[in-house]
Chains A and B, each alone.
Chain A
């Protein structure tokens, strides 16, 4: 072996040993998850622990005439029954929401949605608690309810929120009607209207992103344990943002923050559902403070689907203006946002409609104007970002459907129209008409790669033939080709425009290297299944030259982890991942000083080589990070404090903008309305790829949830406000059998402002997937002039389309 080969082999071996960035490292957390050894809230058992359960409203809108708890209290094993009357003296019958509204913890005079919390029974076991809920006698006087958001602001609409009836200025400005929450505007109205007045071609479509639910497999739950002697509260719960929960608990309970220990143990999926604070958390805390024993609350499936945060329910009137040859000139969008009974959206404070203004998408659209009106209805509250950054799925759905509608009107190929309007690689950083600065992208390259991979031209030819065959009566199948080219905005975010309850949306990492060279690192985020324990360790491994297997990642305990804003909106990699790299670099700088001292050279004479500092030009003179760690504790250089650790609170200078090109090939059975996905190809560009296998897993999961949302998943209400199908019998959670096979691919356009160039990927497939499926369905029927077909595209709805078009003979 010649010398150079030897060196290369040695370096390759050392790199491989680290299992750092770019490595398909197996998820370390899966060892416990796949053996049933995870520890979730419901696994926790404390001595003397009691259980809480809710009495819930059967009505969508009703006045509470009386609540009689005496029969329930008389049941052996029942310890207490809380109602609004008990919480009111503590000021806890309402709690603040992240959106600047208040939300009833237990209903006082009125209930505003079906299954709203009315009383909280605390008993010795869950069975007794559940029995007792049936013994609480509540007399209701039913009121007319509002289910359709378009009826919320009619002059004679019943007033829902009497508690804020007189407050005509809300957290986001004036309210036009007692059922109005806010109006939010952005963009240049005049310039946009002018463009629309003069354009060759315009389209206008009402696009509904229907109400659904993030439905994590583990429901929301908490366990509160108050130590009356120490005056300390320990709260375990399903918290995507444990530090924020601690702050909120402190603010509303008056307990000092250092006497509150919030712990998020293993979490079985969140998808946005576990960002907010819920009545169950508050009631378990109050129960424990009052009774001095631990109180657990565990939501069941129906409660989860029907009460804790829903997602979407955006009704988007979307318009595009273009030239005859397909250059888009402007975009105009009005959104009617149904927030349910309370405004409990989990968005950064200044963004009542999230980042809906990313709706100009991947296109260079010169002017745009967006208006969002939020309204109250008699439905559960929420409006959380379900596997997406704030309202980004909605925004991408709007532009990606609208551009197809425009393509059809222009008689242009939908892929070609996109390519024609893409922001060009040389335009980055790109300033969008609605105020964002896109960090990086190369859309043309990604689109071309995707179209080549899928064989786009041949598919269109096949589709043309199938359409003719259908017209001739030779087949009863329609073929649809769905496209979406999405741009996300994730990693919230810069302090100048992102905060939650006044706390800037930074995130954090604290890395401590032990004398023997192994590491513990703690972050302000909280994995719910994303594989943080694996990926963060890979970042540190590459940055510090320590094998990932020697690095332990810890999150979720507010006593030990540095403060962070939590995990949602794909912010872990863009924000805490950046903090991790920066903290590691601080350590590395110190390590370099120690190495220089050990090697008796100047710092500047050293260079980094995978897992060591070596003397430039003398590669045999080096100190490994492991040796340096020992020295840091054993013989630090004079004037340098011992130890080797660092903390970083990272405030990102900008968001990151992942993008991707998705294609879906679908065959629809006209007679039953059943749609089969033949192929689904997803090309993602999330910048630097930390763990390709985890990325692939995230893409598979996100696409599966996108498939669910587009093809059947919904939370529906009847006109009485009864929530329909809030169980897994009806709520569509696809199994492996229904789920299409996913083909994944990628390009790499690093983020220029992120320390390692990574952008976040957990949500891209969901954001890009929903419109792709819907476009495939719409494309299948497009040649029959079906007009826009609303989601969800379950079989009966597609059959109805066939009926409308007279396809069933």
Chain B
């Protein structure tokens, strides 16, 4: 558990950070809170020769509303996400999710940008971002571009980030007032990644579900946006038969690895159970 040798860089602007990353190439990695990267380095599963720490860059820690969207700077810590009154009011599911990530110590250091950029299917934020229809602003030497979270994840630790690019902000469309939400996570203990987890956001009108979005965590190589499953719910009263069908559709797209959390079939079934429970909670919270 001793990392290899590396150089440490601490740029103060996004421009210099991306320039450094471009120049140092494959051997360099951005460093945010370090709570995913450093454990990998300690077991030498990752051995970057250069770390470009984003901590000293001004302007990457912010939470603000711009138009219909909430903008969260990539270096905003999970703790700040939890502490934000603005987020608690506009996108309360963010807080609910951040609270089941790791433990308080890790959340003081770990960032939302690092959580989303990491590409580990075990991270909780990515599926939530897919559920919320968020997009990431990626900045490189050639400027910035927006990539929807639903298109960002290509495989385990494989993302749409191009060499030299970093995530600078996360843009989340504010869900409609009165929406129902729930993030349900099954884990073995505090500080564990999900055996399976589900994020649900719905809106109801007159007892009918008029919109639904579902994200699933850690039941495939990437986070999953369960659009078919959500589609089944829309237009229904969320009756038992419909929910069963939606759960079956969600389970069908999972492909979890067997690991110490349990065999694959268990984790698939748990994705279904988490979805059911998140949906129950969302329904109870939605203004009809």
Q: Which residues of A contact B (CB under 8 A)?
A: 53, 126-127, 129-131, 134, 300-302, 671-674, 712, 716, 724-725, 729-730, 732, 734-735, 737-738, 794-796, 799-800, 808
Partner of B188 from A671, A795, A799, A808 at Cβ < 8 Å: A795
A126 to B193, CA, bound (A): 30
Given contacts A126-B2, A729-B192, A738-B189, list 13 more A-B pairs with CB under 8 A: A127-B4, A127-B5, A131-B5, A300-B1, A301-B1, A302-B43, A672-B273, A674-B186, A724-B260, A735-B191, A795-B262, A796-B263, A800-B266
| Distance, CA A730 to CA B103, complexed state (A) | 16
Residue of A nearest to B122 (CB): A729
A794 near B186: Cβ-Cβ < 8 Å:
no
The secondary structure that dominates the A interface is loop
Query: Which residues of B are found within 8 Å of A794, using beta-carbon distances?
Result: 188, 262
Shortest Cβ distance from B103 into chain A, in angstroms?
8
Report yes or no: B266 in contact with A732, Cβ–Cβ below 8 A: no
When distances are taken between beta carbons in the complex, the residues of chain B under 8 Å from A725 are: 260
Given A126-B2, A131-B5, A300-B1, A737 and B266 contact (CB-CB distance below 8 Å): no
Known: A300-B1, A795-B195. A730 touches B260 (CB 8 A): yes
Contact A795 B186 (CB under 8 A): yes
A53 vs B1: C-alpha distance in the bound complex, in angstroms? 11
A738 / chain B contacts, CB cutoff of 8 Å:
189-190
Q: Given the complex, which residues of A lie within 8 Å of B191, measured CB to CB?
A: 735
Tell me which residues across on chain A come within 8 A of B192, comparing CB atoms: 729
Cβ of B10 under 8 Å from chain A: no
Nearest CB of chain B from residue A397's CB, rounded to whole Å: 22
B61 interface residue, CB < 8 Å from A? no
Instruction: Tell me whether B5 and A732 are in contact (CB under 8 A).
Output: no
Task: Judge whether B2 and A130 touch: CB under 8 Å.
Answer: yes
The smallest C-beta distance from A136 to any residue of chain B, in angstroms, reads 15
List residues 181-203 of chain B with CB under 8 A from any CB of chain A.
186, 188-193, 195
Q: Is B270 an interface residue (CB 8 A)?
A: yes
Q: Which residues of chain B have C-beta atoms less than 8 A from A724's C-beta?
A: 260
Complex Cα distance A338/B43, Å?
A: 29
Residue of A nearest to B186 (CB): A672
7 contacts between A and B (CB under 8 A): A127-B3, A300-B2, A729-B192, A730-B260, A735-B103, A795-B262, A799-B266
Question: A715 to nearest B CB, angstroms?
Answer: 11
Residues of chain B with a CB closer than 8 A to A126's CB: 2
Q: How many residues of B contact A (CB 8 A)?
A: 25
Instruction: Assess whether B9 is interfacial by the CB under 8 Å rule.
Output: no
- B261 within 8 Å of A by Cβ? yes
Bound CA span A152–B193, Å: 36
In the assembled complex, the Cα of A398 lies from the Cα of B266 at a distance in Å of 30
B269 at the interface (CB under 8 A from A): yes
**B279 to A: closest C-beta gap in Å:** 14
Shortest Cβ distance from residue A710 to the other chain B in the assembled complex, whole angstroms: 14
Decide: A131 and B189 in contact? CB cutoff 8 A.
Answer: no
Q: A729-B192, A732-B189, A738-B189 are in contact. Are A796 and B261 (CB under 8 A)?
A: yes
Contacts of A53 in B (CB 8 A): 2
Nearest 6 CB-CB pairings of A with B: A796-B262, A130-B2, A300-B1, A730-B260, A725-B260, A796-B266
Residue in A closest to B42 when the chains form the complex, CB atoms:
A300
Contact between B1 and A302, CB atoms less than 8 A apart: yes
Whole-angstrom CA separation of A799 from B266 in the bound complex: 8
**Complex Cα gap A799–B262 (Å):** 10
User: Could you tell me the distance in whole angstroms from the C-beta of A155 to the nearest C-beta in chain B?
Assistant: 33
Which residues of chain B come closer than 8 Å to A732, judged between CB atoms? 188-189
Residues 1-36 of B, flagged 1 when their CB comes within 8 A of A and 0 if not, give 111110000000000000000000000000000000
| Cα of A735 to Cα of B102 in the assembled complex, Å | 12
A-contacting residues, B230-288, CB 8 Å:
259-263, 266, 269-270, 273
Query: Nearest chain-B residue to A53 (Cβ)?
Result: B2
List, in ascending order, chain A residues with CB within 8 A of B189's CB: 732, 734-735, 737-738
Q: CA–CA, A808 to B273, complex, Å?
A: 11
What is the CA–CA distance of A808 and B251 in the complex, to the nearest angstrom? 15
Chain B, residue nearest A799 (CB) = B266
Q: Which residue of B lies closest to A731 (CB)?
A: B260
- B103: which A residues are within 8 A, CB to CB? 735
**Interface pair A131/B4, CB less than 8 Å apart:** yes
Interface centre among B195, B260, B262, B270, by most chain A C-beta atoms within 10 angstroms, is: B260
Look across to chain A and name the residue whose beta carbon is closest to the beta carbon of B262: A796
Instruction: Check if B4 sits within 8 Å of A799, measured CB to CB.
Output: no
Cβ contact of A737, chosen from B190, B259, B263, cutoff 8 A: B190
* Contact residue among B2, B43, B190, B193 (Cβ-Cβ distance under 8 Å from A735): B190
Instruction: Contact check, A127 vs B261: say whether CB atoms are below 8 A apart.
Output: no
> Which residues of chain A come closer than 8 Å to B43, judged between CB atoms?
302
